[in-house]
């Protein structure tokens, strides 16, 4: 049965005005979207769309692309997006993350690299290293790992090269 009114056939589909509205998505506590000034446009200059891994859903694989991703369920694999990754309370990701912004209200087991901003919200938990432009931690959050923040990419590359030369003794 079609969920739309098919004008080419008779009797199938919903009558005009009787199509049920999509269910309202409950806002997750403690996790708010990024302010307009921190949102990044998608391809073509339009606002990037948000993809959702719903609560109760478990996926395994790899996420690549442009846009925002909200995880309310569980995901095992690496995430590489040009947008915002949001983990709702109760959500879990096992894998490495590379995203423009990362908001953690759930649990992340893996490293975060090259993020412009990382927000670890109340009740959020990260087990892994973080390399970001800015890092915000709320009261009640937990983290185990190494954090580097406040460095731009050029300074970070210079510091990595200097560290490597000190280790090899070629200063």
pLDDT in tens, 39-90: 444 444 456 789 999 999 999 999 999 999 999 999 999 999 999 999 999 9
| 104-142 per-position pLDDT tens digit | 999 999 999 999 999 999 999 999 999 999 999 999 999
Closest alpha carbon to 92 in 124, 122, 49, 51: 124
pLDDT at 151: 76
Closest alpha carbon to 102 in 73, 123, 74, 126: 126
Of residues 76 and 11, which shows the higher confidence score? 76
Q: For residues 133 and 152, give the distance between their C-alpha atoms in angstroms, rounded to a whole number.
A: 6
pLDDT at 165 exceeding the cut of 60: no
Strands 92-94 and 107-109: parallel
């Amino acid at each position: 049965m079609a969920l739309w009114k098919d004008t080419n056939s008779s009797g199938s589909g919903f009558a005009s005005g009787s199509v049920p509205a999509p269910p309202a998505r409950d806002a997750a506590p403690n996790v708010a979207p990024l302010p307009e000034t921190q949102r990044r446009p998608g391809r073509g200059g339009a606002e990037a769309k948000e993809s959702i891994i719903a609560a109760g859903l478990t996926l395994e694989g790899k996420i690549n692309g442009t846009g925002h991703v909200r995880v309310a369920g569980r995901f095992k694999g690496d995430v590489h997006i040009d947008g915002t990754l949001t983990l709702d309370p109760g959500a879990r990701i096992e894998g490495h993350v590379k995203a423009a912004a990362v908001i953690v209200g759930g649990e992340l087991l893996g490293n975060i690299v090259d993020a412009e901003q990382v927000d670890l919200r109340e009740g959020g938990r990260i087990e892994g290293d973080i390399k970001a432009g800015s890092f915000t931690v709320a009261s009640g959050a937990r983290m185990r790992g190494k954090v580097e923040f406040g460095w731009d990419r050029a300074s970070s590359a210079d510091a990595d090269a200097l560290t490597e030369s000190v280790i090899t003794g070629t200063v």
